[in-house]
Each structure stands twice: as structure tokens, then as C-alpha cells.
Copies of this chain bind each other. A is one copy, B any other.
Amino acid sequence: MLGENNYGKSEVRLVKVHRGAERHELRDLTVDVSLAGDFEAAHVRGDNSGLLATDTMRNTVYALAREHPVDPPESFAIALVEHFLAAGPSVTRARVRIVEHPWARLGSHPHAFERGAGGQHVALVTGDRSGIAAESGIDDLLVLKTTGSGWEGFLHEQYTSLPETDDRIMATAVTAHWSYGQAEVDFGALWAGVRATILSAFGDHYSPSVQFTLHRMGEAVLAAHPEVERIHFSLPNKHHLLYDLERFGLDNPNVIFQPTTEPYGLIEGTVERG
């Protein structure tokens, strides 16, 4: 028996240029489309007549980008979801995920840019017969504190060997996504605001654990942005090990560290309104 299923087109790459009279703007997106619905005829009997080709989804992304704004990505994702929900009677749910890759203007140049930093803007929109819901997110926001972080008082048992410390490097690549408690939102301004709040909260306290900082950042976002209903974080602990230099007759007062990529701690959690 066929159970849950969906299909779509992934990694549709799109650049849209706004050719203003004085200066150009550009948006650089990767779009994923996924549809769910009654596709049993195709799966079981090889009858494709109810299926939109994934190649058609690709064409649709480019065509709708010509006719709709793509900034903020949430509004473009909503336009795509509305289109795909109407595209055929067999589609019951459409999901569009957009990742925006940042570019920064070269000085005041009218049309030259360099790759920007500060994380990628993610939009995730899901729609079905009952309505459309938008979530926003940020990916790959790398942050690091050289002090103001520790790891003490944890549970000790037979396999525990890690020493306690009240001064370590804390580094992570923030992945976060959040949902809204209201329909009308200025997605672009809010994204910049949530990002700024996360960065500020990352550095505004002594961190006894990644868990504590996760919760602190979540609280700060909910406090500063009433539109946000709930925020989820996924925070890899990018360990920086103090290198043992004593054996070579050298001290190491939290100066020389070895970053490691594997294994890594992974701390995930949601902070939501009570």
C-alpha cells in the first residue's frame, strides 16, 4: 500500500537582477519545490496524467520570478505555493523552501558586488486547502567568543574524562527557523532584526553551556519581536581544544587552540511563547 509521498524539484538556482536607473540590485536564490497529493495512479498504475513534470516546476520558478518580486524570499515562496496549489486537482499540499545567498555592493559601484557574509536567509512556506503558513530562518551564521564561556558542574560518571572549565572558546554555526503568530509581517525587516538580536544575545552573557545560550537567544528574539511565535535553534558545538604545550616547556594561558571538526556536540531546542 502506498503511504505518505511527495515529489518536486530541488536546487533550482535563480538570479534576478533589478536594473534600476542609477544602480542594479540582485537576488541570488536556491529554490526547492515539493508537492503532496493523490498520486496513486502514477505510483501503482503508471498513469502520469495527474503529474506535473518536475521540469515544469523548474520553468515555473523562473517564469513567476519574472512576474513577482523575489524579495523578500517569503513573498516569492508564497506566490509559488499559491500557484502550485492551483496547478492541479491532485495536489493537496505544496512546500517551497528558498535559500538566499548574500551579495554586498562593492563600495558605491552601480552594478558590481562581492559575496556577503552573515548567514543565509531561508524562507519555508507550506500551503494546503486550509491555508498558507510562512516560516523564516537563517543558516550558516558562524559566531565565536574567545572567552565568556565555560562548562562546569556537569554529571560525572564512569566514562567521564573531560575537565571542567570556566574559560573556553565557544563557537557555533547557528541554524534557526521561526514561525509567526500573525499573517501580515514585514519579512525582510524582521529577518534583519532577528539576526541582529541573535548576534547581540550570543555575546551579552557568560555562557555556562550551549543550552543556556540557546535559551537566552530564543528569549531575546521573542522579547524583541512580538511577531515571532516560536524559534528553533540547531547549534553544533565547534570545539576548540586547548593545545597541551606544557610537555614542551611552554605555558598556554588560553592562547593556542586546536579547532576540531569531528566529533561535535549538537544542541537543539525550541523556545516558544508560554
Q: Is A185 an interface residue (CB 8 A)?
A: no
Query: If A43-B215, A146-B111, A248-B63 touch, does A271 touch B7 (CB 8 Å cutoff)?
Result: no
Q: Are B255 and A88 in contact (CB under 8 A)?
A: no
Taking CB as reference atom, which chain B residue is nearest A7?
B267
Query: If A106-B203, A113-B143 touch, does A154 touch B52 (CB 8 Å cutoff)?
Result: yes
Q: Are A59 and B248 in contact (CB under 8 A)?
A: yes
Segment of A14-22, A120-128, A129-137, A186-194 engaged in the interface with chain B: A14-22
Q: Are B56 and A162 in contact (CB under 8 A)?
A: yes
Stoichiometry, copies per complex: 4
Q: Are A5 and B268 in contact (CB under 8 A)?
A: yes
Interface size on A, residues (CB 8 A): 126
Q: Which residues of B lie under 8 Å from residue A19 when comparing CB positions?
A: 146-147, 253-255
Q: Are A42 and B212 in contact (CB under 8 A)?
A: yes
Q: Whole-angstrom distance from the CB of A35 to the nearest CB of chain B?
A: 11
Q: Whole-angstrom distance from the CB of A115 to the nearest CB of chain B?
A: 4
Bound state CA distance, A56 and B211, in angstroms? 16
State the 3 A-B residue pairs at the shortest beta-carbon distance, nearest first. A5-B269, A112-B203, A3-B270
A residues contacting B by CB (< 8 A) are 1-19, 24, 26, 28, 32, 34, 39, 42-44, 46-56, 58-60, 62-63, 65-67, 87-88, 103-104, 106, 109, 111-118, 141-148, 151-155, 157-162, 169, 199-200, 202-203, 208-212, 214-215, 230, 232, 236-237, 240, 243, 245, 247-248, 250-274
Q: A7-B269, A19-B254 given; name 15 further pairs at CB < 8 Å.
A: A4-B270, A5-B267, A7-B211, A13-B258, A14-B256, A14-B257, A16-B255, A19-B147, A43-B215, A44-B212, A51-B154, A56-B162, A59-B160, A63-B245, A114-B143
